[in-house]
């Protein structure tokens, strides 16, 4: 495996298209409410907050990326903090497809760490291709197996 491997969320997925469509509709409602004099200020504020939330959610979910560098696994988003996991401490990974869940996560990546009782969880949005995620998790699994063989020898 290469020294650096990276995968990113993509808007050209079913979930990404749905997020983009909802954001466009919310933005169009905001523009129309600015042009129509009948809309009350409270209604305008609610529509503006809804459109802003859609844009922030879209930016955050489209910017998700997983990166495997020499000895480290990184998860990063535009609006979240970067999470870094040392592969020497990782026992294994599990990718779960949650389907359409209410919390906005479509996939759950669980990372089992030696010194933790419960696995660490990373919620991934609907903008991922399953094949990319499965290949990435498989590549990390192979790297972990190679590491464990080296330590066993």
* pLDDT of the chain, 153 residues: tens digit per residue: 444 588 999 888 888 898 999 999 999 999 999 998 888 899 999 999 999 999 999 999 999 999 988 788 899 999 989 999 888 888 888 888 887 766 666 888 999 888 878 888 998 988 898 888 888 988 888 888 877 655 554
- What topology does CATH give the domain 5-10+64-152? PH-domain like (2.30.29)
Could you write out the DSSP letters of every residue in 117-135? Answer: SSPEEEEE-TT--HHHHHH
What is the residue extent of each domain of the chain? 5-10+64-152, 14-60
Is residue 45 within 8 A of residue 34, CB to CB? The reply is no
- What pLDDT does residue 150 have? 57
d(CA 65, CA 4): 13
């Amino acid at each position: 495996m290469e020294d650096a491997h990276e995968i990113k969320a993509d808007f050209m997925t079913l979930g990404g298209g749905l997020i983009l469509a909802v954001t466009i509709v919310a933005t169009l409602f905001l523009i129309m409410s600015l042009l129509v004099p009948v809309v009350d200020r409270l209604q305008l504020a609610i529509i503006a907050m809804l459109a802003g939330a859609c844009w922030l959610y879209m930016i955050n979910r489209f910017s998700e990326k997983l990166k495997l560098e020499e000895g480290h696994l990184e998860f990063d988003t535009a609006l979240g903090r970067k999470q870094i996991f040392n592969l020497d401490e990782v026992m294994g990974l599990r990718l779960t497809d949650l389907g359409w869940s209410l919390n906005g996560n479509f996939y759950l990546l669980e990372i089992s760490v030696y010194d933790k009782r419960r696995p660490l969880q990373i919620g991934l949005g609907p903008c991922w291709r399953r094949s990319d995620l499965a290949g990435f998790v498989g590549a990390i699994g192979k790297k972990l197996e190679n590491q464990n063989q080296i330590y066993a020898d």
